[in-house]
């Protein structure tokens, strides 16, 4: 997978931070804070881009990966019901960076135009690998460290985790991109197609699950 990105650098005090964004707007993507759950809607291209960013976060432990989508319009079918919910940006960060989410607003304000680059990522468009039962059991052990920690600050959802956590969940977005369009065509009366990062999986330490839904209705 070749992912066009924009690389930004900015200082906070003596420390320089590297922030990676997708090159160009990802318009057909929305993430909503709806109290008990975090709901996302994506078309095929957006879901594939976010899956690529998830993979990029796994291999970029010294960078913050930022998806600026909180200004996007809501999907047409959901706008009336979801109008009061907070739209969020997304930041993915490796836990070893030890970046404090409370400093994000200041860092975001210092980002300039950035430099265009292309990230070459492992092609992950094939079927998702089955997670062994032993790995599923391991997630619920107290010593397990490959969990996400969540913070919502400055209109942004922070997902802080390990390389393994990002690698093992990137397929959720890629699954939506891969199977969502065909499902909608085959089941017009019940077009709902989704994937989840569920809190009961043991992958989220202190936050909520993410519900990720394919959506084609983006009428203004």
Q: Which residues contact 103 (CB under 8 A, 6 or more apart)?
A: 12
CB 135 within 8 A of CB 165: no
Domain extent listing, the chain: 2-123+153-214
* Percentage of residues of the chain with pLDDT beyond 70: 85
Residue 123 pLDDT more than 80?
no
* pLDDT over 50 (residue 186): yes
DSSP state, residue 19: E
pLDDT digits (tens, 9 = 90+) for 10-34: 999 899 999 999 999 999 999 999 8
DSSP state letters, 72-105: SPPPTTTHHHHTTSEE-EEEEEEGGG---GGGHH
**Statement: residue 81 has pLDDT above 70:** no
pLDDT at 145: 64
Q: Per-residue pLDDT for 220 more than 80?
A: no
Phi, psi angle pair for 197, to nearest 5°: -110, 95
Q: Band of the pLDDT at 83, cuts 50, 70, 90?
A: low
Tally Cβ neighbours within 10 Å of residue 73.
13
| Residue 101 predicted with pLDDT over 90 | yes
Q: Across 67-81, 134-148, 182-196, which has the greatest mean pLDDT?
A: 182-196
Q: How far is CA 138 from the centre of its chain?
A: 24
Higher pLDDT, 218 or 182: 182
CA–CA distance, 57 with 92 (Å, rounded to integer): 6
Confidence (pLDDT) at 143: 44
Would you state the pLDDT for residue 207?
A: 79
| pLDDT value at 126 more than 50 | no
pLDDT at position 35 is: 77
pLDDT band at 202 (very low <50, low <70, confident <90, very high): confident
| Lowest-confidence pick of 91-95, 142-146, 161-165 | 142-146
Which of 163, 173, 162 is CA-nearest to residue 196?
Answer: 173
Phi/psi of residue 174, nearest 5 degrees: -65, -30
Helices 44-59 and 163-186 meet at what angle, rounded to 10? Answer: 170
Mean pLDDT of the chain: 87
pLDDT of residue 122: 82
Looking at residue 206, what is its pLDDT?
Answer: 78
Residue in the structure block whose two tokens are 């292309």: 118
Query: Measuring CA to CA, how many Å separate 139 from each of 36, 40, 173, 212?
Result: 22, 24, 21, 21
């Amino acid at each position: 997978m070749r992912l066009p990105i924009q690389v930004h650098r900015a200082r906070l005090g003596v420390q320089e931070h590297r922030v990676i964004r997708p090159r160009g707007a990802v318009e057909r993507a929305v993430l909503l804070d709806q109290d008990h759950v975090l709901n996302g809607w994506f078309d095929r291209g957006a879901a594939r881009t976010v899956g690529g960013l998830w993979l990029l976060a796994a291999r970029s432990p010294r960078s913050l990966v930022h998806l600026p989508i909180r200004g996007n319009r809501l999907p047409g079918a959901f706008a009336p019901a979801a109008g009061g919910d907070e739209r969020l940006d997304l930041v993915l960060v490796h836990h070893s960076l030890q970046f404090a989410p409370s400093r994000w607003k200041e860092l975001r304000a210092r980002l300039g135009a950035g430099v265009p680059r292309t990230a070459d990522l492992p092609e992950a468009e094939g079927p998702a690998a089955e997670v062994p039962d032993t790995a599923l059991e391991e997630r619920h052990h107290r010593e397990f460290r490959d969990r996400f920690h969540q913070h919502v600050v400055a209109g942004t959802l922070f997902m802080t985790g390990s390389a393994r956590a990002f690698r093992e969940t990137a397929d959720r977005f890629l699954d939506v991109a891969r199977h969502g369009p065909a499902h909608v065509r085959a089941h017009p009366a019940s077009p709902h197609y989704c994937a989840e990062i569920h809190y009961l999986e043991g992958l989220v330490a202190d936050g909520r699950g993410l519900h990720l839904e394919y959506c084609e209705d983006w009428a203004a």
